[in-house]
Amino acid sequence: MNPNLETKIGKLILKNPVMVASGTFGYGEEFEDYVNLKKLGAIVTKTITLRPRKGNPMPRTCETAAGMLNAIGLENPGLESFISEKMPILKNLGVPVIVSIASEAGPDEFITLARRLDAIKEIAAFELNISCPNLKSKKLISQDPVTTYAVVTKVRKITDKTIITKLSPNVTDITEIARAVEDAGSDAVALVNTFTGMVVDINSKKPKLANITGGLSGPAIKPIALRMVWETANAVKIPVIGIGGIMTPGDALEFIISGATAVQAGTANFVNPGAAEDIIDGLTKYMKDNKIVHIKNLIASLRG
């Protein structure tokens, strides 16, 4: 038996539900020598902003117990350089490309980015990064359901491409934000982005990150992310993409069984560049061993 892992998100049809998360896989070319890219469900690019960003000052990453903190600050070449330098490479990778976009100066930048990128046929979908915790803004777009609704609504009017909206866990009730995203016309929600955290060097009595705080990712956040995915999958009808500490096939299975239609491997890529491939192989083996014909039969199969 050859199990069917095909996964549908909006208009986007993936050969399997395993993606690589934004900010952990560059623009794909960085991993060409280590990973069979054509095997992946999709690549989510490093987040693009309208203008180039240098990111936050160094140091901006550090290890933590069962995870890592990062305060990269959305370093990227900007829209025009992305189109001229990165898209020619991404076009030829042989895997669906989901472009992550974010705003620096206000929600309207999402509109400019989406309008400019919508004409590029090789872009399969957009991931709206409304949840990066490492910028200087006091409040994230994804922490306000009204602003979230407004942004997604405006982008929806511009593009027929699949829209995935990435949510922050740094909220009181993530299902409230997810429902606003669904009502606004997003094809899916991706969760969670990183949790805000910090680490102190006890010898210097200084934060280990120049930005003081950063985004916590890795295995340490998996149980919380899993709970949020389960809650959200029970609150909305659109697909939920699970993110947060997914390192192994077993981790991915937990998210899918709890209601995720697809998953993204993030921090795992720094530890094992072949993590996404391993997860795909593990899902296939699990389905064969358990005589599961189609991945959709595994989604939200959690027993009470």
Active-site annotation, residues: 132
- Cα(139)–Cα(158) distance, integer angstroms: 25
**72 near 193, Cβ under 8 Å?**
no
Tokens of 136: 């200087």
- Cα(80)–Cα(116) distance, integer angstroms: 9
- Counting runs of H as helices and runs of E as strands, what totals does the chain give? 9, 16
User: What residue spans of the chain are helical by DSSP H?
Assistant: 79-81, 87-90, 108-118, 145-158, 174-184, 222-233, 249-257, 268-271, 275-289
Q: Which whole-number Å values give the CA distances from 202 to 199, 245, 261, 267, 302, in the listed order?
A: 9, 27, 42, 26, 43
Q: Which whole-number Å values give the CA distances from 75 to 58, 66, 242, 297, in the listed order?
A: 12, 25, 24, 39
Structure-token match 């690589």, residue found: 20
- Cα(198)–Cα(251) distance, integer angstroms: 25
Picking from 253, 250, 257, the residue whose alpha carbon sits closest to that of residue 230 is 257
Determine the distance from the C-alpha atom of residue 99 to the mean position of all C-alpha atoms in its chain, rounded to a whole number: 10
- Cα(273)–Cα(43) distance, integer angstroms: 13
